[in-house]
Amino acid sequence: MRVVQQAFAMRADSIARGSEAFAAMANYWNENSGVPSYTYMVTLGMPQGTLAVSMRADSMAEFSAALWPMMADPEFQRLSNEVNACLATPSEPVMWQLLHAAGDMPPEPSAIVHQITLRSIDPGAIPWAMEIANHASSVIERPVVVAGTNYGSSMMATPANSLTFFTYWDDPAQIDESGPKLLVDADYAALQRRADGLVDPSFMSSVLARRTN
C-alpha cells in the first residue's frame, strides 16, 4: 500500500480563508478522483494553520490514474490556486510505501494520528523500525505502522530515505492513558539507543494531527 501525504502551511493572515479553500479543494477531489482523501488539522509539531491531506492507494499506478486527470481538471486547478494563494510556502507531497504494521491498521485513518519521521542512514534501520514499532504497539495497545520513502531531498521537509511511524488514536483520552507508558518503559529506551548509526541524529519530526472529515 502507498500513503500519499501533503501538508499546507497557511500564512498567518490567511488561515481562515485558506482553511475554507482547502476544504473546498478536498471535497472536490473526493467527489471526482476515485481515491478518497482524509483531511487533517495539525495540532502539534508544525506551524499554526497547517492543514494536511492523506490518501491511500494499493499502488503508485492506482494513485497516478486518479491524480493526472484531476491535475488537468479546470475546476480542480481553480480550487488548488485558491489554496496556493494562502500558503506561506509551497506544499510538498510525500509518497510512503508501507513496510510493516504492528497491530491492526485501521481501514481508514483514525481521528488522531501521531507521526514520527526519521532519516535512515543504514539499511539496518528498517528491521530496527519494525522491532521498535512492535514493542511500542504492545505497550500502548494501539496500531503502529512503519513506512518509508526514497523520494525527497535535503531541502525538503521530508528528505529521501526517511522512515515514518504512524500511531493511530481514537481520542485524546487514549493518548493521556497510554502515551506516557513509553516514556518509562526500559525496553523501549534500550531500543531507542540502538538507533545509533541507523538514523540521522540531526533529523526528527514528531507531528500530531486531528482528522477533519
The pTM of this model reads 0.95
Neighbours of 171 (CB within 10 A): 11
pLDDT at residue number 6: 96
Q: Per-residue confidence of the chain (213 residues) as pLDDT tens digits?
A: 999 999 999 999 999 999 999 999 999 999 999 999 999 999 999 999 999 999 999 999 999 999 999 999 999 999 999 999 999 999 999 999 999 999 999 999 999 999 999 999 999 999 999 999 999 999 999 999 999 999 987 778 899 999 999 999 999 999 999 999 999 999 999 999 999 999 999 999 999 999 999
**How does DSSP classify residue 141?**
T
- Can you read off the three cell numbers belonging to residue 17? 480563508
pLDDT at residue number 62: 96
Give me the domains of the chain, ranges plus CATH numbers.
2-92 (3.30.70.100), 94-211 (3.30.70.100)
**How does DSSP classify residue 196?**
B
Residue among 149, 20, 140, 5 at smallest CA distance from 63: 5
Residue among 81, 57, 59, 86 at smallest CA distance from 71: 81
pLDDT at residue number 153: 78
The type of residue at 83 is: V
